[in-house]
Structure 1
Amino acid sequence: MYGLATVLPRLLTLLLTPLLTEYLPDADAFGEVSIIFSYILLLNVILTYGMETAFFRFFSDRAHKGKTLSTGLITILITTTVFVIIAFLALNQIATFTEIPAVYWKWVIGVIAFDTLMVIPFAYMRAQKKSLKYALIKLLNVVITTSTAAVFLIWLPEMNAINSYLPSDKIELYFIAFLAASIITFLIVAKPYFSKWDFDVALWKKMVRYGAPILIAGLAFAVNETFDKILLQKLLPEDIAETQVGIYSACYRLSVGMTLFATAFKLGVEPFFFSESKNENATKMYAQITKMFVVLGAIALFVYVVLVDLIKPLLLTKEVYWEAMNVVPLVLIAYLFFGIYQTLSVWYKVTDKTRYGAYISVAGATLTIVVNVLLIPKIGYLASAIATCGAYGLMMVASYVMGRKHLAVPYDLKNILLYLTLSIVFTVVFFYGFREYFGIGSWQLYLVGAGMTLILVGFISFREKALLLRLLRRK
């Protein structure tokens, strides 16, 4: 249920891509929306400051269980209220700093506030194991957002009864739709705010201290995920910056296939990591799981690249957005690295050494910032794709190297590197070589792609036939 609550909303949100690229005025407007979402992600991490994870940690402790909910709720409510007051008082300054009009920010601040206020109620729902309710509400939020945005962007001009009460700016309408969904969802989950309030100062201090490393890791992850759009806006010439961000962000979204694959795999395997941590064969299972992810990921990467030009017009309806297609393989490889990093990170999760996860994330974020700052003025958004690939590659390698000292997992490094290298080489040769030589969409290109896929799958299957047969027998 939690997997569905994560993956299905992302798929529904993906439907917003063709909606936005088709009905927003231009790539400049799409770029502006992408930059705003970058700020939303960063501010969501800052305003929750690890309190969700801290809630789970102390709610499971019988000594604190009764007061954890109210202490978490009061803390989030106070800090969110302070944020809203300061943000509205400094609305013009925020608009100047971000180069985003204040008229958008007044709605975005509301979206951020209500999303933050829902963090603890949703965590409480999960703690009570109300997985179906959790999943349905998450899906409802996305359905409301998507449907309202579609109505506002497509049909509002023809709805004379209400269009006079709403602005004509489509970006503003889009964020009004988001705010409406956030308010409705908050009203559905707000019941815990009306329970008995009991604030425990000592517990609050423990929760804040516990959440601090989570905040650092979350900020680093947000930087890796989204800070490149902000840096592109700041470092490119003003007259082209937002257009370039829009084009880059649109093609970046084409990596959703690998993103969802990595996310779905993580959601399925992470509980298994913890449940089997006391098993005497746990490390062997971790090694097999990691190799299976690489096997599946290596094949998925190449197949997705072969098919990406067929997927492209379904998501990006205007050809102006296709300009940045050269970043797609780099972003796909980056998310394959990130998926491998997530499976390798088992060592610090099961040994309660999560601070190392923060260190690794900060290293990745630092590389992201440095590469973007140095290369954006020279090569534009290609620098951002290189930075994302480099950052997740660094995190993957760092997790493996550091993990060897803390948990002896017998990874089949030889074959993992072989499959990963083969898949990446095939991807680069096909996309940057054969795709240019034969022409996009030509039958010769897809014939070559099918042949290379058979070679890749056949080679890996031959070498891993023992493992694959073992898995089939278990089924």
Structure 2
Amino acid sequence: MSVLKKLAGETALYGISTIVGRSLNFLLVGIHTKVFLPEELSVNTELYGWLSIAAVLYTYGMETTFFRFASKENKMEYYNLILSALILTSIILSIILISFSTPIMNMLGYPDQEIFMTWLVMALAIDSVMAIPFARLRLEKKPLQFVKARMINIFINIFFNVFFLIFCKDIYEGKYLTFLKPLISHIYFPEIGAGYIILANLIANIFLIPLLWKLFSDFHFRFDFTVFKKLWEYGYPIMIMGLASTINGRTDILLLKHILPDNFYPNRTAEQALGIYGNCYKLSIFMLVAINAFKFAAEPFFFSKAEDRNSPKIFSNVMKWFIIVCVFLWLLVSLNLDFLDAFLLNKDIYSEGIGVVPVLLLANLFLGIYYNLSVWFKTTDRTYFGTLITFLGAGLTIILNLLLIPVLGYMGCAYTFLISCFAMMAVCYLLGQKFAPMPYDTISAFGYIASAGLLIYFNSQIHISNLFVSIVYHLTILTLYILGIVLVERKTVIPLKIREKYAFLR
């Protein structure tokens, strides 16, 4: 249990930056939906969809590769080599993409907006290079430094979103401080619009360089092709796996606008539908927060415990509590959609797509379980299984999106993602039990997910018009559910002395 507490503690530390950052970025949804109409945000939604795919190509599996090799051998040798490789390839890829930004943006249907792509590519290049210094902090068990850098990066991003989209915009439009308008007119241009979201992202990433400068002070540029070949052989299946996984998660964004039938939603264009779906998708962010915070702590943890004879039991317990936390988050968000709708989706048009949120949350829960299950092929150097599984998921995603979007619209996107994530999870579990069996508690996992799903379904049939009453009612349900978990898991969460004192807890 002490091992689990240590992992939980590190996850909590990494979660501070992730949870606070995502929560604050979550509030940006309110700013963005207030300032822009869905069609104005469609370019950002689509570009960030492509960015997710490009990010995998930029890092090509080297982050996980760094953990795999640096945790056992000369850390600085692999740090220097991998960081050198990423700097080189990031520069080359960025030059190519920026050079072709005009035809690419024309092809996507956003002419004369190539500056957005240039900013996004520059932000991506910095992000990719910084992945290895951040990985080094995780490997060296320095979560506080990790959190500090991430938090500053997040606050800078939020500051410049507010600065450009509220402060500068309002002054430019003469709402207040009109004497500053001549100055503001040199830095704020209305035609950029939602592009300021991307620019804020770029500025925040630039600040990462001085924030992590100490991790570059002992860096020495070097490249050894013989050693790198070994790293590449381990990393490229992870890259392919990540690419297929990202395609699995973002194909809906990339396809929705292009294959949604005309007038599918009355009085709504395809660009509006994409903007609605993209911003409702962000309401599933809490599950991604939990998964990302867990991954930051768990990846080095899994590699360090791979040789431990007790690792099957440890990994099984980790899985159980991961599912419990994620199921709670699924309930928390899904039961309070009316609250989120009222305070974050400022225009009624965005509320039209809120039904996708519970489905997307469940899909991400399955994806998180898949990440947990994937430990078996990562620690046994069978990463090619991960490639096959994610290709299965990507194939399902492409086929089902093509079939379901014309019939169900953006709900088709949500159901496709759910089916794909479930399939990946199921196949990974079955293969893992064949090649590296783990004593996972599948009965409790099914029980928690099924019971939460039933609660969400029955709650969706009840409409409470008074927001305050609705919040109290849903918090009561959540409290009762938590008490139920405590009773089921009492031997783990309730001290022995208390259980001995009260017979019903034994």
TM bucket, shorter chain: 0.7 to 0.9
The worse-fitting range, judged by mean Cα deviation, of 172-181 and 240-249 is: 172-181
Q: Is the deviation greater in 107-116 or in 148-157?
A: 107-116
Matched, 1:393 2:422: yes
Does the CA contact (< 8 Å) of 2:306 and 2:379 recur in 1?
yes
* Matching of residue 200 in structure 1 with residue 224 in structure 2: yes
Match of 2:203 in 1: 180
Say yes or no: does 1:171 pair with 2:194: yes
Aligned mates of 2:342, 2:235 — CA distance in 1: 43
What is the Cα deviation at residue 273 of structure 1? 4.5
CA contact (8 A) 2:17 2:147 kept: yes
Matches within 5 A, 1:384-423: 384-423=413-452
Task: From the superposition, tell whether residues 445 and 139 of structure 1 become closer, same or farther in structure 2 (CA, over 3 Å).
Answer: closer
Partners of 2:236 and 2:218 lie apart in 1 by 27
Question: What is the TM-score with the length of structure 1 in the denominator?
Answer: 0.87
Letter paired with 1:30 = L
Aligned to 2:93: 83
Mapped contact 1:251–1:328 kept (Cα < 8 A): yes
Correspondence for 2:393: 364
Tell me the SS of whatever aligns to 1:408: coil
Instruction: Specify whether residues 470 and 279 from structure 1 end up closer, same or farther in structure 2 by C-alpha distance, changes over 3 A only.
Output: farther
Query: Is the 1:104–1:171 contact (alpha carbons within 8 Å) kept by the matching residues of 2?
Result: no
2:84 corresponds to: 74
Matched, 1:162 2:162: no
CA RMSD of the aligned region, Å?
3.1
Pick closer, same or farther for the CA change 1:407–1:234 going to 2, 3 Å.
same
Q: Which moved more, 1:77-86 or 1:456-465?
A: 456-465
Q: Kindly provide the amino acid, as one letter, of the partner of residue 210 in structure 1.
A: Y
Q: Does 1:47 align with 2:67?
A: no
Residue 30 of structure 1 corresponds to 41
Aligned-partner Cα distance in 1 for 2:293–2:139 = 21
Could you list the per-position Cα deviations for residues 159-199 of structure 1 after superposition, in whole angstroms to 9, with x for gaps in the alignment? 42133244222222222222222222234435638954332
For these two proteins, the number of residue pairs brought into alignment is 468
Once the two structures are superposed, what CA deviation does each residue of 1:394-433 show, in whole Å capped at 9, x if it has no partner? 12212221121123323333333233222212212322x2
- The more displaced of 195-204 and 44-53 is 195-204
Tell me the equivalent position of 2:125: 113
Structure-2 residue corresponding to 1:94: 104
CA 1:50–1:170: 2 relative to 1, 3 Å:
same
Matches within 5 A, 1:63-462: 65=75, 67-100=77-110, 101-157=113-169, 158=171, 159-160=180-181, 161-168=183-190, 169-189=192-212, 192=216, 195-237=219-261, 240-267=269-296, 273-431=302-460, 433-434=461-462, 438-441=463-466, 449=474, 453=478, 456-457=481-482, 460-462=485-487
How many Å separate the matches in 2 of 1:278 and 1:3? 27
Whether the 8 Å contact between 1:52 and 1:120 is mirrored in structure 2 is yes
TM-score (norm: length of structure 2) = 0.82
Q: Name 1:21's counterpart in structure 2.
A: 33
Q: Cα gap change, 1:119/1:467 in structure 2, threshold over 3 Å: closer, same or farther?
A: closer
The 2-side partners of 1:121 and 1:465 are apart by: 41
Distance 1:251 1:218 in 2: 24
Change (3 A) 1:163 1:237: farther
Q: Are the counterparts in 1 of residues 284 and 357 from structure 2 also a CA contact under 8 Å?
A: yes
Q: Which amino acid aligns with 2:62?
A: M
Identify if the C-alpha distance between structure 1 residues 366 and 196 changes in structure 2 by more than 3 Å, giving closer, same or farther: same
The one-letter code sitting in structure 2 at the alignment partner of 1:162 is I
2:67 & 2:189 partners in 1: Cα distance?
Answer: 42
Query: Does the C-alpha gap of structure 1 residues 471 and 363 become closer, same or farther in structure 2, counting only changes over 3 Å?
Result: farther
**Structure 2: which amino acid aligns with 1:202?**
T
Q: Which amino acid aligns with 1:107?
A: W
- Superposed CA offset, 1:323-368 (max 9, x none): 0011111112112222333333343344343332332222222211
Contact 1:3 1:268 in 2 (8 A): no
Instruction: State the distance in 2 between where 1:79 and 1:214 align.
Output: 17
Residue 156 of structure 1 aligns to which amino acid in structure 2?
Answer: C
Question: Deviations 1:200-222 (Å, cap 9, x if unpaired)?
Answer: 12122222222101111211221
Runs of 5+ in structure 2 lacking a partner? 1-12, 172-179, 263-267, 500-506
> Are 2:86 and 2:128, in contact at CA under 8 Å, matched by a contact in 1?
yes
